[in-house]
A and B are shown apart, each in its own frame.
Chain A
Amino acid sequence: MPQDNVNTDAIYGKDYTYRDDMTPEIMARVVMENYDPGFAASTKAGDVIVSQYNFGTGSSREQAVTCLKAKGIPLVIAASFSQTYLRNAFNNGFLCIEVPDLVARLRQQFGAEITAKEKTIIPGDEIDIDFTSSTITWRGDKFSFPALGSVPQSLVVAGGVENLVAKRLALA
């Protein structure tokens, strides 16, 4: 997604944010609608999103994270994230990693598509993400990323903050 500041209204629009009857299946169908109405149809579970600077800026709506989970997106890579988006991500056990070098490399690789204003570019090849060494490998190139802090790590491992609080209450 070659755009800076992809915002929460773009990721999960107003028509769904204030509805309580959205199932994961419906959420998966409307994901990214205000960014690229074709996104849901052209992507599938297991796809990794790579976007640019300030991903997830905007509101604190949790569904901007959970709709991606519903779609089966395992994680988002961006050049930078809004911290409020990261709170939702980590609290829901969803991974986000900042790899500006990979973003720059992809911009170089897909310059023609970006110039043609394609909203979602799907190379279709694999990306290797090694969390033990904090390294991403794509088409033979290696990119390092900062290790996740221990608090976010423990949240991801616990499957989200609700599980942690539940545990704490049970102990109290």
Chain B
Amino acid sequence: MGQTIVEKIAQKHMTEGPPRPLRTGDFLSIRPHRCMTHDNTSAVMSKFKGIGAKKVKDPNQLTFALDHDIQNQDESNQKKYRAIEAFAKEQGVDFYPAGSGIGHQIMVERGYVIPGSFVVASDSHSNMYGALGAIGTPIVRTDAAAVWATGEFWWQIPRSIQVVLEGKLPDGVTGKDVIITLCGLYNHDECLNAAVEFTGPGVASLSMDARFSISNMTTEWGPLVGWFPVDDITAEYLRAVRQRLEASGGAERFSRNDIENWKTYPPAPDADAIYAARIMLDLAQVTPHVSGPDTVQAMQSLAEIQNKKVAIQKAYLISCVNSRLEDLAAAAAVIKGQKTSSGVKFYLSAASKWVQEEAERRGIWQTLLDAGAQPLPSGCGPCIGLGVGLLEAGEVGISATNRNFKGRMGSRDAKCYLASPEVVAASAVAGYIRGPHQFEHQAPQRAYADLTSAWHQLSASQRKSKFCQASRNA
């Protein structure tokens, strides 16, 4: 019986676990390829010292990237940032100061995430690394302290669900619309805590930035992993990463030869792997959708919400889900030569300094500024309710971010909707939620096959050995 991708990649990074091929439900110790912490590095430092550790086990395993509270110039915050930097220097850990970018973007654009690797961060959006064919999954700060001290953390193999993508997205429909649609269609725990494997002929039509948006926001959908196969698009992305690293340093993270190897022998699940469920999605059926307010489990088609003329006061083109080059370019194409509505504040922040520099070179950044966008330093900012530009009581926002929870981006008496960069830009100009193009009110049908009966039959005999093994490991 074969293994799913999560079972295979976990197997490769296992240090302690069952003496047989890994299966869903197994407990094991994992030595991740990389582990990122952001502002919470400070909290992990306290835990690390609290457990009596002095030296990090493997400095090459860690990346520190300050991205959360970077606008905060208070002495207490600056002191915290200085302490993190000093600790990084002392321990020999790669450190990215405030303004470098959002940690998840740093991880993918600087070569820390590679196909077939197991990469974690003490942050829920670690799922994003799946776009590069890695297992990216969230850990929590106590796990991070364990990784620093021992190189390892405990994990349980989640059940795997296949999402088969067919067709091709129509023009004006984005990766963000795909994931908003999946969140809205399968909103009853179908994929909660699962590892999702995207597959099918539709994958090849999705750009890397679209894959990043989808993998990133699988977190809101419920899965712990959102994995994409490795193909020509992955290789092309990694070649560009490699080129930048050759100029900036960090080229030792992977070689040109590695890229060719990943392309020739891509990490892949076994053909006879066992899945808990299978979802089919025809990309050609996806139309622009808006998520919310207050929850990602509710979606409306653009056609539907346009009719309601939902007035907005704030628009956000920011965050690790949707402020990469393709996102900024798409918004700029919509807004070029126009001005944001007088009643709307439009906030802009690139996913990283590198993204911003490239957007500047291409004139995209200036187009957005000319339209009236207010730039913020590259970081999380309003997406986590910190710094300039939060939603005030009674306000409504449209945001290219991943969470619209009550109170997250400002007052709990504000409302927030999530959408693609194009919709955010068009709404900023109009003053109410709308898109740049007209679409019919349409969404794909649910196509969910529960395969758990097969899964239970096959795993019943293993369940006993699994629990025996888990108690031995504990």
Contacts and interface: CB of A to CB of B under 8 A. Distances in A.
Q: Do A and B come from one complex?
A: yes
Interface of A: 4-5, 7, 9-10, 13-15, 17-18, 20-21, 33-35, 53-54, 57-60, 62, 80, 82-84, 87-88, 91-92, 149-151, 153-154, 160-163, 165-166, 168-170
A35 B124 CA distance: 20
Given A34-B407, A151-B27, A151-B470, A14 B386 contact: yes
Contacts of A160: 142
B80 A59 contact: no
A164 to B, nearest CB: 8
Contacts of A33: 407, 412
Interface of B: 27, 39, 42-43, 47, 50-53, 68-69, 76, 80, 122-124, 138-143, 145-146, 149-150, 154, 156, 158, 188-189, 192-193, 220, 222, 224, 295, 297, 384-386, 403, 405-408, 412, 467, 470-471, 473-474
A91 B141 CA distance: 9
Given A84-B140, A166-B50, 17 more contacts: A7-B405, A9-B406, A14-B408, A18-B68, A20-B76, A33-B407, A54-B189, A60-B124, A60-B139, A82-B222, A87-B139, A87-B140, A91-B142, A91-B143, A150-B467, A151-B474, A162-B142
Nearest to A88: B140
B385 A80 contact: no
A150 to B, nearest CB: 4
Contacts of B158: 83
Given A91-B140, A91-B143, A162-B47, A80 B192 contact: yes
Contacts of B189: 53-54, 80
Given A18-B69, A88-B140, A169-B51, A9 B405 contact: yes
Contacts of A154: 474
A37 B408 CA distance: 15
Given A13-B407, A53-B188, A151-B474, A168 B385 contact: no
Contact of B150 (A4, A83, A168): A168
Contact of B403 (A53, A58, A166): A58
A62 B222 contact: no
